[in-house]
Chains A and B, each alone.
Chain A
Amino acid sequence: MAEKFDNLEEHLEKFVENIRQLGIIVSDFQPSSQTGLNQKLNFMITGLQDIEKCRQQLHDINVPLEVFEYIDQGRNPQLYTKECLERALAKNEQVKGKIDTLTKFKSLLISELGKVFPEEMAKYKAIHGDDPPS
């Protein structure tokens, strides 16, 4: 799994570096730089071809659209991961609280009903079995 990303990352880094060098050549262009510029332009195309090849390996990877929004706003996309994890944990705790409360309520209700309607509750327990202690 990680190799696929490493491969793409490597190609992207090379591509970015090539673009940076291209920018330097263009920023103060000299006639002698034309050969280098042509070479860099063709490197750029080779780089795009390499990145295109990586697409086949990563067709099963889904990126949430929200991540792009973070990037577009100039924010660290790791913040998205962080917020996702925090939200997941908060929801997890919330659901756990609900389950625990309902389990307690159920056992309390059964015990109270057992006091008032012992016969019916004995039949009920015969059908459903005793609840595990909460």
Chain B
Amino acid sequence: MTEIFSSLYGQPDSQGPAGPSALGFGSGKPQVPQNMGPMCFPHQMMEEGAPVRKPAAMNEPFYLLRELPMENELTGHTNLITHYNLEHAYNKFCGKKVKEKLSNFLPELPGMIDSPGIQDNSSLRSLIEKPPVCNNSFSPLTGAMLTGFRLHTGPLPEQYRLMHIQPPKKKNKHKHKHHRPQDPLPPETPSDSDHKKKKKKKDDDPDRKKKKKDKKKKKNRHSPDHPGMTGAQPSTSSLR
């Protein structure tokens, strides 16, 4: 090891093999005499004109030494989510379970929107791939044009009534709260978790419920407890 290192860095070593041939650079290549100073690669020796390396580095034993790469200000070493102020977004989307269905994202949108768009040819992909052939501008319909929209009286046939069918909404009454330890940043505040504990306690046995009711009645006489504490959270507005 010492021998190889010495030969690498051009130190005089009478015992060890000298020059690039010892390192497998090829025996046929010209060897550098030791009194010439630091060793160079054969291709560097053959080059004419300006040397590749700095003159200062030429005098040093490290002939393969380069300048250290410029240190980037922003690398993967920094937490990029914090750097770009995305903690809020991270906590919002990764801290709690995001509901799977599209209707949970757009609850006010009428129709069955959870079914794949390919089924009824309503996919956005098809809109991009085959854009509809139409004019660039939208002009209002004139009286003559509106005559084309005179409809027959009576209800629509069954197959066209899909628009009014809404996906069934799940009731969250008996939903068990799972504790997920893998959540990186729990979004709940301590007050929120207390509030859920209270709710869980209320869903116990009917006998216990009765007892608690009696207790509550007694309590209510003394302290007014707010009944809306266990209520559901306000629903978010549509298209958000």
Contact = CB atoms under 8 A, between A and B. Distances in A.
B98 A116 contact: no
B141 interface: yes
A69 B155 CA distance: 35
Contacts of B239: 9, 12-13
Given A37-B151, A71-B117, 17 more contacts: A13-B108, A23-B110, A24-B164, A29-B156, A34-B150, A45-B141, A46-B140, A48-B138, A71-B124, A72-B125, A74-B102, A76-B105, A82-B94, A85-B89, A88-B81, A117-B5, A120-B5
B234 interface: no
B152 A29 contact: yes
A77 interface: yes
A57 interface: no
B225 to A, nearest CB: 36
A50 to B, nearest CB: 10
18 contacts: A20-B110, A23-B163, A27-B160, A29-B151, A38-B141, A45-B139, A45-B140, A68-B125, A74-B113, A74-B114, A75-B102, A77-B105, A95-B75, A98-B76, A120-B9, A120-B62, A123-B61, A127-B65
B138 A41 contact: no
B25 interface: no
A53 B227 CA distance: 48
Report whether over half of chain B's contact residues are helix, strand or loop; otherwise say mixed: loop
Contacts of B114: 74
Interface residues of B, number: 64
Contact of A76 (B101, B137, B140, B163): B101
A16 B109 contact: yes
Contacts of B94: 82, 85-86, 89
B76 A92 contact: yes
Interface in A14-48: 16, 19-20, 23-24, 26-31, 34, 37-38, 41-42, 45-46, 48
A41 B221 CA distance: 60
Interface residues of A, number: 58
Interface string B131-169: 000000111110000100111111110001101100000
A108 interface: no
A27 B29 CA distance: 91
Contacts of B240: 9
A127 B155 contact: no
A89 B164 CA distance: 42
B87 to A, nearest CB: 10
Contacts of B128: 65, 68
Nearest to A68: B124
